[in-house]
């Protein structure tokens, strides 16, 4: 049981280290949006690409 707990702790620690924080999006029509979730750029043809915090 202790091995499982250690593996889970290691997994969640490593998986959270690789997450990048979204800070906005560039829409398909060139518009820059500060929205970071679903619905971003909905009136601008959708998201071309996401902008991430460095």
Query: Does the pLDDT at position 44 exceed 80?
Result: yes
At residue 12, what are phi and psi to the nearest 5 degrees? Answer: -70, -30
- Please tell me the predicted confidence (pLDDT) of residue 20: 87
Domain positions in the chain:
20-54
Please give the backbone phi and psi of residue 33, each rounded to the nearest 5 degrees, phi first.
Answer: -120, 145
The answer on pLDDT for 23 being more than 60 is yes
| Separation of alpha carbons 13 and 8, rounded Å | 8
pLDDT at 15 over 60: no
Q: Give the C-alpha distances (Å, rounded to integers) separating 51 from 11, 12, 27.
A: 26, 24, 11
Q: Which residues in 5-28 are b (16+ Cβ under 10 Å) and which e?
A: eeeeeeeeeeeeeeeeeeebbbbe
């Amino acid at each position: 049981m202790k091995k499982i707990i250690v593996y889970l702790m290691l997994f969640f620690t490593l998986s959270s280290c690789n997450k990048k924080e979204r800070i906005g999006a560039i829409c398909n029509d060139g518009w820059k949006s500060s929205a970071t979730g679903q619905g971003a750029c909905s009136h601008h043809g959708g998201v071309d690409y996401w902008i991430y915090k460095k």
